[in-house]
């Protein structure tokens, strides 16, 4: 008879998962800013061209980081989500983020392929236009790309707010398990004080 599989869960994300998480977060911030601010030096300027090609290259890096992260996640155990509605919301939010990240990168690549352009990765190698997409509208692809990118920003906002809520209000370990052990964030006394204060006021005000 075969042994039952061990069901032990892990308490924290491992070092590589944490590295991928924060690397993706930083890269997405940079790629989004490069996309939105590309005209600050003027349309057609050298700065605009530099920002666009850096946007494409770092965007490709985001795609690679997300794929590697998913492969790593499939190979290793990740901490379990909490039970109930909160856990379900966190799980759904993470899936939506993975889908949006992949969609944004794929749509960006399709915009370039639509124009028949190869995408250069900092001059080191090129991703050639593999299919002829000239029948698609550049405007539609670009709008979908921008829509997905803005979706990431909105969902990440909620995601980060939830992480901070866990840390400062619910005071559990959710944020700590995505932070390297030597960088653990102290819970600010001032925030803790105001949360306690608000809690006490609510308790006194409500007939609970």
- Positions touching ligand HEM (CB under 6 A) are 21, 24-25, 28, 31-32, 35-36, 52, 55-56, 59-60, 62, 73, 78-79, 81, 90, 94, 97-98, 101, 104-105, 108-109, 111-112, 119, 142, 145-146, 149, 152, 156, 159-160, 163-164, 174-175, 177-178
Which residues are CB-neighbours of 35 under 8 A, at least 6 positions away?
55, 146, 149
2/9 with CB nearer ligand HEM: 9
The three-state secondary structure class of 80 is coil
C-alpha distance from residue 50 to each of 31, 57, 88 (Å) = 12, 11, 42
71/198 with CB nearer ligand HEM: 71
C-alpha distance from residue 10 to each of 13, 14, 125, 193 (Å) = 8, 9, 39, 31
Contact 139, 133 (CB under 8 A): no
36/192 with CB nearer ligand HEM: 36
Q: How far is the CB of 15 from ligand HEM (least distance, A)?
A: 14
52/200 with CB nearer ligand HEM: 52
Q: How far is the CB of 21 from ligand HEM (least distance, A)?
A: 5
Q: How far is the CB of 104 from ligand HEM (least distance, A)?
A: 4
Contact 13, 78 (CB under 8 A): yes
Q: How far is the CB of 48 from ligand HEM (least distance, A)?
A: 8
Distance CA 56, CA 37 (A): 14
14/196 with CB nearer ligand HEM: 14
Q: How far is the CB of 189 from ligand HEM (least distance, A)?
A: 19
Q: How far is the CB of 201 from ligand HEM (least distance, A)?
A: 26
The three-state secondary structure class of 94 is helix
Chain mean position to CA 197 = 33
Quote the crossing angle between the two packed helices 84-114 and 46-75, to the nearest 10°: 140
25/195 with CB nearer ligand HEM: 25
CB atoms within 10 A of CB 31: 24
């Amino acid at each position: 008879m075969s042994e039952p599989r061990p069901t032990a869960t892990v308490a924290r994300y491992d070092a590589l998962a944490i590295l991928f998480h924060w690397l993706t977060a930083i890269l997405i911030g940079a790629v989004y800013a490069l996309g939105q601010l590309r005209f600050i030096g003027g349309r057609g300027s050298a700065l605009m061209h530099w920002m666009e090609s850096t946007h494409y290259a770092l965007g490709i890096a985001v795609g690679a980081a997300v794929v590697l992260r998913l492969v790593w996640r499939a190979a290793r155990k990740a901490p379990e989500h909490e039970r109930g509605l909160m856990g379900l919301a966190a799980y759904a939010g993470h899936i939506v983020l993975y889908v949006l990240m992949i969609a944004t990168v794929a749509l960006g690549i399709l915009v370039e392929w639509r124009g028949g352009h190869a995408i250069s990765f900092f001059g080191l190698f090129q991703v050639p236009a593999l299919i002829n997409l000239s029948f698609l509208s550049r405007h539609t692809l670009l709008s979908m790309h921008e829509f997905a990118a803005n979706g990431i920003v909105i969902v990440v906002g909620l995601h980060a707010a939830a992480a901070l809520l866990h840390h400062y209000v619910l005071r559990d370990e959710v944020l700590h398990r995505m932070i390297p052990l030597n960088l653990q964030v102290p819970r600010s006394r001032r925030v803790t004080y105001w949360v306690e204060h608000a809690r006490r006021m609510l308790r006194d005000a409500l007939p609970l």
